[in-house]
């Protein structure tokens, strides 16, 4: 008998967050989140996303043991402003029991129908800066901190409950030695002269902050055409600055500005924190923070997290300026492997940017949907 309970208290939210620690305790490739950060994400008083979204959290029990979890999410900006009548769900984990996953999804579907929404889609987070997709390939590779990991049986559960594929994502990697500066070295000098651009270098996080709001504005502009994009609001900017920027080595943040100091391109690269997070095992203190700070400074693997070019400068080679900056930084740091976050497989523009580096797809993931009408 499966029992599903909606949870509200901080104590129960900790159970929600810790369930995957038990589910994946024997997995070499699952990477634990920082428990404190997950709690902050779900804190409706502190996370500004809840001004424009709502979430309800559920735990599934079998024989009084937690056997599954799911977050049912409605982003009202998406529903009302974009007329996307979507019921989101994420943080969806479960044992290999179809009755468990079915009971959890039925809660999500019920909420969607209550709000007259037209379909469900998941796994997704609150916004485009959250994790996305259920893994369908690449189970033998460790998960980066910015993606979800799951067992292969998850896909069967979606399909068994009448869900169909909505979006395809791929994750790629390439050795830094694949980067040949002749592809961008001369071009970037020409582009900077032609459009009167310059690249900004940072050594301190405090130097980045004056440009952070402009970066999120440019993120909104450059990603607006992608499917299911939900813009970041002004109040969310402050939250994301605290959540993300402090994790990034400032030398790995690259901005390109025009003659008026207006931002026309940006990129954020993060050190690979996976091994450090496994050692931390969900806790920053007493030892976890040390592992993370060490990785922040010394990791030889990096993850291209975000890259955005202003629409008026797209297809003008601005990415060559950004790549040149990273080439110089990564050469100095002795970087060995570059990873890319999940990218929509139909995003041809982003794939063209990376083609000269001969990337290899090492993971694939999908979101699934189901009609509610």
pLDDT tens digits for range 243-256: 778 778 899 999 99
Residue 222: predicted pLDDT: 87
DSSP 78: I
pTM for the model: 0.93
The fold for domain 175-363 equals Aminopeptidase (3.40.630)
Q: Could you tell me if 116 and 311 are in contact, meaning their C-beta atoms sit under 8 angstroms apart?
A: no
Banded pLDDT at 110 (limits 50, 70, 90) = very high
Per 3-state DSSP, what percentage of the chain is helix, strand, and coil (rounded to 5)?
40, 25, 30
**CATH 3.40.630.30 applies to domain 2-171:** yes
Residue 224: predicted pLDDT: 79
CATH 3.40.630.30 in the chain is located at: 2-171, 175-363
Nearest alpha carbon to residue 44 among 33, 54, 57: 54
pLDDT tens digits for range 278-298: 999 999 988 899 999 999 889
Q: Could you tell me if 171 and 337 are in contact, meaning their C-beta atoms sit under 8 angstroms apart?
A: no
Residue 350: predicted pLDDT: 80
Residue 367: predicted pLDDT: 98
Q: Residue 227 pLDDT more than 70? A: no
pLDDT tens digits for range 320-334: 999 999 999 999 999
Tell me the angle at which helices 205-223 and 234-244 cross, rounded to the nearest 10 degrees: 130
How many residues are listed for the chain in this entry? 373
Banded pLDDT at 349 (limits 50, 70, 90) = confident
pLDDT tens digits for range 168-216: 999 999 999 999 999 899 999 999 999 999 999 999 999 998 888 999 9
């Amino acid at each position: 008998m499966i029992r599903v309970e909606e949870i509200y208290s901080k104590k129960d939210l900790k159970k929600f967050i810790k369930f995957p620690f038990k589910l994946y305790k024997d997995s070499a490739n699952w990477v634990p989140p920082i428990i404190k950060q997950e709690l902050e994400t779900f804190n409706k008083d502190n996370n500004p996303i809840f001004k424009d979204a709502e979430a309800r959290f559920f735990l599934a029990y079998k024989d009084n043991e937690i056997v599954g979890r799911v977050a049912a999410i409605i982003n009202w900006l998406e529903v009302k402003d974009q007329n996307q009548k979507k019921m989101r769900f994420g943080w969806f984990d479960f044992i290999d029991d179809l009755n468990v996953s079915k009971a959890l999804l039925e809660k999500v579907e019920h909420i969607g129908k209550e709000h007259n929404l037209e379909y469900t889609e998941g796994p997704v987070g609150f916004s485009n800066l959250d994790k996305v997709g259920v893994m369908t390939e690449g189970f033998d590779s460790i998960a980066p901190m910015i993606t979800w990991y799951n067992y292969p049986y998850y896909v069967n559960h979606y399909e068994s409950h009448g869900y169909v594929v909505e979006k395809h994502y791929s994750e790629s990697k390439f050795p830094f030695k694949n980067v040949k500066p002749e592809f961008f070295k001369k071009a970037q000098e020409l582009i900077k002269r032609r459009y009167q651009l310059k690249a900004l270098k940072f050594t301190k996080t405090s130097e980045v902050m004056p440009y952070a709001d402009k970066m999120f504005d440019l993120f909104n502009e450059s990603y607006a055409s992608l499917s299911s994009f939900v813009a970041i609001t002004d109040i969310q900017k402050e939250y994301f600055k605290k959540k993300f920027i402090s994790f990034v080595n400032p030398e790995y943040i690259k901005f390109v500005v025009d003659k008026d100091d207006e931002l026309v391109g940006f990129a954020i690269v993060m050190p690979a924190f996976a091994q450090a997070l496994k050692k931390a095992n969900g806790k920053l203190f007493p030892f976890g923070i040390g592992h993370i700070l060490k990785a922040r400074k010394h990791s030889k693997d990096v993850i291209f997290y975000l890259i955005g070019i202003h629409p008026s400068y797209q297809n003008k080679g601005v990415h060559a300026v950004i790549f040149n900056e990273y080439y110089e930084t990564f050469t100095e740091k002795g970087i060995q492997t570059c990873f890319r976050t999940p990218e929509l497989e139909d995003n041809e523009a982003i794939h063209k940017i990376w083609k000269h580096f001969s990337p290899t797809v090492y993971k694939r993931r999908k979101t699934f949907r189901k009609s509610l009408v």
